[in-house]
């Protein structure tokens, strides 16, 4: 769908998900992640960049698993994560929009839990490539988990935490030869509706990931 059409539908409150392709499992166990290998860190920094052209090819489950773990997985005892959060509130929820449906990344179980059996990729941003790229992530702050943080600081701190996760995605993408772009030009109301979010949950950003267009 073109950006203009999305803008028009968004203004009318009618930017909606598409029917999913295939059947969505209610829960997807992600394979164990190999914590070794990948590009040396300095080479990953050298390769990090935004890309806006994607091949439609699906990401293998091993790649999706490693990407999500790198982004916001549990990396040590105590449930601590690969990205920082203020007072370790871990307020960011990572939603995973796939052609088969939208899932919540459950870092503790390292699994995907189905949120909706619709294809919400088109709703995750105004730019046309988000519809067909194989994965759009959505960063959502759950303010109910931020009670230790002063109320006036919560949104700011959540944005910082989301930024750290986004950079993890960029660096994993650089290491794995994937293309990605972080996006703030999104219809937050349409996304919240599509994902059935509560009033405590605030949509912050989206990020598209896929193979580079050949």
Ligand X SMILES: Cc1cc2nc3c(=O)[nH]c(=O)nc-3n(C[C@H](O)[C@H](O)[C@H](O)COP(=O)(O)O)c2cc1C
Contact residues toward ligand X (CB under 6 A) are 49-50, 52, 127, 181-185
Nearer to ligand X, 102 or 166 (CB): 166
Nearer to ligand X, 112 or 182 (CB): 182
Reduced to 3 states (helix: H, G, I; strand: E, B; else coil), residue 51 is coil
Find, among 160, 154, 150, 132, the residue nearest to 202 by Cα.
Answer: 154
Six token digits for residue 153:
């600081």
Are 103 and 113 in contact by the 8 Å Cβ rule? The answer is yes
Buried/exposed code over 107-118 (b: 16+ C-beta within 10 A; e: otherwise): beebbbeebbbb
Nearer to ligand X, 145 or 183 (CB): 183
CB of 77 to ligand X, least distance (A): 32
CB of 26 to ligand X, least distance (A): 31
CB of 29 to ligand X, least distance (A): 32
CB of 186 to ligand X, least distance (A): 7
Find, among 126, 131, 146, 149, the residue nearest to 202 by Cα.
Answer: 146
């Amino acid at each position: 769908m073109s950006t203009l059409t999305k803008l028009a539908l968004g203004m009318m409150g009618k930017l909606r998900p598409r029917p999913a392709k295939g059947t969505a499992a209610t829960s997807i166990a992600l394979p164990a992640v190999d914590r070794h290998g990948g590009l040396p860190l300095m080479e990953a920094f050298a390769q990090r960049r935004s890309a806006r052209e994607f091949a439609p090819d699906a990401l293998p489950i091993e790649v999706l698993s490693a990407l999500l773990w790198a982004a916001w997985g549990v990396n040590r005892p105590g449930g601590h994560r690969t990205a920082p959060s203020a007072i370790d509130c871990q307020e960011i929820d990572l939603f995973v929009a796939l052609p088969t449906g939208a899932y919540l990344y459950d870092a503790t179980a390292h699994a995907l839990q189905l949120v909706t059996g619709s294809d919400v990729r088109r709703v995750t941003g105004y730019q046309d490539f988000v519809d067909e790229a194989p994965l759009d992530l959505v960063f959502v702050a759950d303010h109910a988990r931020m009670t230790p943080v002063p109320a006036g600081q919560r949104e700011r701190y959540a944005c910082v935490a989301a930024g750290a996760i986004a950079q993890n995605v960029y660096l994993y993408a650089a290491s794995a030869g994937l293309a990605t772009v972080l996006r703030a030009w999104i219809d937050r109301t349409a996304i919240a509706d599509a994902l059935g979010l509560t009033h405590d949950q605030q949509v912050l950003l989206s990020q598209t990931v896929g193979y580079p267009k050949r």
